[in-house]
Amino acid sequence: MVNLDSILYKVTRPARYTGGEWNSVVKDWESALVRVALSYPDLYEIGMSNLGLSIIYDLLNKEPDVLAERVFAPWVDMEAEMRREGIPLFTLESKRPVKDFDILGFSLGYELTYTNVLNMLDLAGIPVMAAEREDALPLVLAGGSCTLNPEPMTDFIDLFIVGEGEEVVLEFLEVFRNWKLEGGGSKQELLRKAAQVPGIYVPGFYQVAYHQDGTVASVIPTVTEAKSAIERRIVNKLPAALTCPVVPYLQVIHDRGAVEIQRGCTQGCRFCQAGIVYRPVRERTQEEVVKAVESLVNHCGYDEISLLSLSTSDYPGIENVVNTLLQRYKGGNFTLSLPSLRLDTFSVALAHSFQDRRKVGLTFAPEAGTERLRCVINKGICEEDVLQTIETAWERGWKNIKLYFMIGLPTETSADIAGIVELVHKIRDIGNGGINIRVNASTFVPKAHTPFQWVAQASGEDLADRQQILKSGLKKMGTHLSWHDPQVSLLEGVLSRGDRRLAKVIRRAWQLGCKFDSWSEHYSFENWQKAFSECGLDPYFYACRERSLDELLPWSHIDTGIELNFLKREFERARLEKATPSCRAGVCAACGLHLKQLACQRKYRE
């Protein structure tokens, strides 16, 4: 076990590394057959806010012969001390070196954490290249939303789990358990067995060829166990809600209890990867939600609970759930949080019911400044709806409004950007200048498996021009504006739609010192530029190039269950500025999941 007494007093927030939190699980090392280290490759505060990691941690530790512990990326001061003292990367529960575990699992939820994965492997004393690890354990695997295009990380990961992990993780665990009980042969033998499990992708078993123009020519399995298409795993019924999570000692990003009330979304926003890849919608019953909240309050001491969903307003009976919880905890300090509310008067009324006294603020996402562009992205909100919603909020006493927009959207013009300014001006007039408006303008980054996976990302020069229109227009009204660095968005765009040749760029960028790329104080665009140049690859080829609808995309062998023809139809409807109604409206959009007998919103169809 690692001794930290000599270094913890030298670093910021030492509680990031001490473990021992309420509800953390410490098992006997010797009696465990399978030992797993789980990581979100970022700071403790970020990783402990990741619900998916907490679910898998709880799931694995319920297995009698499995030990699961957590490890996060140490901040730069802690890393420096660890390297100086020769202390390897260790887990929180037992303080054992990560290298001693059988499995090291990363949750990849954001592309700009990729260099942190390499840094953590190196700090653990594990070769960053999968090919250099030979038969040595731990087996390095990865799950999370980024595995919908795993190609940029294929040189570093032994296997990927694609899709929802609750079932496939246990199936893989059974394969690993049997392999180990049988004496633990070669890693190749283990990987061949794992590749037969639906949803598991072993990148070393595939050969990728390229055309002379740099596009992908083919992705071909090289062993019989590897499938030509990797099926995204989907749980048909949500498992029991997590009701006894680890409670952090220090404040984390989402410092509250969380209950996932439904998974999936039917709104069909064309820019939203989550809305595509988490289909179909599956809901917990109202009774399950109320019981889960009760358990979180009793077992964790939380006085604030977040009801999670991609579109919370769409949950059937959300009003009844809110009223039931407020009545049950009436008179205390109990607070509800409902992220992802739709921009409508119902959401305002709902928020009013549980924030009547505090009136902290409302957050909405019009996404685009003009009705035309909202049709392009299938947002489904007209300007009248926006203004009516804000007027209702103002009448109910809300004075703080935060609005999320995107810039760089497909077909966007300067008139659409000016439309944001005009819309904010109209909102401001509702309260005669009394509404405090904050605007966030993020950069649109095309994502794999969406109708916009073929479009070109806006260049830095174009984005700068559009940001300037916003800055000058909103400054005149005294409206606060925050925006994303176009250089950071460029890298995100490259990694989100890249192929496996990018692995050498990621490795070189890490060697040049890149890590914590999502943190502005550590992001180095110059180092990334140098890495691309040395590796002979052009970032603009990946981010700012429009693809042909017939091009074989790097992620073409990942089957989300959504038909390619559906994405093409939606892409064409975007060009024609045509909206596609929500599945909840009673019309099936024929996305393809119904063909796989997943009952895609059948109860909303006649």
User: What is the model's pLDDT at position 104?
Assistant: 98
Is the same domain home to 216 and 364? no
Which residues, in sequence order, are CB contacts of 432 under 8 Å at separation 6+? none
pLDDT band with cut points at 50, 70 and 90 for residue 606: very low
With bands split at pLDDT 50, 70 and 90, how would you rate the model's confidence at 356? Answer: low
Domain span including residue 16 = 8-231
pLDDT in tens, 175-215: 999 999 998 889 999 999 999 999 999 999 999 999 999 99
Instruction: Output the six-digit token pair for 225.
Output: 């166990």
Measuring CA to CA, which residue among 177, 170, 172, 171 is closest to residue 159?
Answer: 172
- Predicted confidence at residue 437, as pLDDT, reads 93
Q: What is the structure's pLDDT at 341?
A: 81
CATH number of the domain enclosing 178: 3.40.50.280
pLDDT digits (tens, 9 = 90+) for 232-253: 999 999 999 999 999 998 999 8
Reported as a single tens digit per residue, the pLDDT across 248-301 is 989 998 889 999 999 999 889 999 999 988 989 999 999 999 999 999 999 898
In a domain, 431, yes or no: yes
Whether 208 and 351 share a structural domain:
no
The answer as to whether 416 is a domain residue is yes
Residue at 276 is within a domain = no
Give the rounded distance of the alpha carbon of 423 from its chain centre: 30
Q: Are residues 53 and 171 in the same domain?
A: yes
Rounded CA-CA distance 3/72 in Å is 17
pLDDT at position 600, please?
Answer: 40
Reading the block at residue 176, the tokens are 């690993």
The answer to the question of residue 144 being in a domain is: yes
Residues 206 and 353 in one domain: no
Instruction: Give the pLDDT confidence score for residue 601 in this predicted structure.
Output: 39
* CA–CA separation, 143 and 59 (whole Å): 15
Of 493, 526, 550, which residue is a domain's last? 493
Same domain, 195 and 63: yes
Give residue 517's identity as a one-letter amino acid code: D
* Residue 43 belongs to a domain: yes
Do 94 and 227 belong together in one domain? yes
Long-range contacts of 213-220 (CB under 8 A, 24+ apart): 214/541, 215/551, 215/552, 216/499, 216/551, 216/552, 216/553, 216/554, 216/556, 217/552, 218/552, 219/552, 219/554, 219/556, 219/557
Segment 104-162, tens digit of pLDDT: 999 999 999 999 999 999 999 999 999 999 999 999 999 999 999 999 999 999 999 99
Closest by CA to 82, choosing from 182, 132, 160, 14, is: 14
How many independent structural domains does the chain possess?
2
253 to each of 97, 372, 511, how far by Cα in Å?
A: 26, 35, 29
- Note whether 227 and 347 are same-domain residues: no
CA distances from 271 to 142, 379, 413 (A): 24, 9, 17
Average pLDDT over residues 309-328: 91
366 assigned to some structural domain: yes
Domain match, 201 and 345 both: no
* Spatial contact of 44 and 255, defined as CB atoms under 8 Å apart: no
Residues 189 and 56 in one domain: yes
Classify residue 563: in a domain, yes or no.
no
Sign of CA dihedral 560, 563, 564, 566: negative
- What DSSP designation does 146 have? G
**Could you tell me the CATH number of the domain that includes residue 384?**
3.20.20.70
Taking the CA atoms of 431, 435, 438 and 444 in sequence, report the sign of the dihedral they define: negative
Looking at 464, 493, 522, the residue that finishes a domain is 493
Residue 362 pLDDT level (bands cut at 50, 70, 90):
confident
Residue 584 within a domain: no
Of the three residues 181, 207, 231, the one that is the final residue of a domain is 231
- The H or E element containing residue 554 is none
Average pLDDT, integer, range 85-110: 97
If pLDDT is split at 50, 70 and 90, which confidence band does 332 have?
confident
C-alpha–C-alpha distance, residues 547 and 590, integer Å: 24
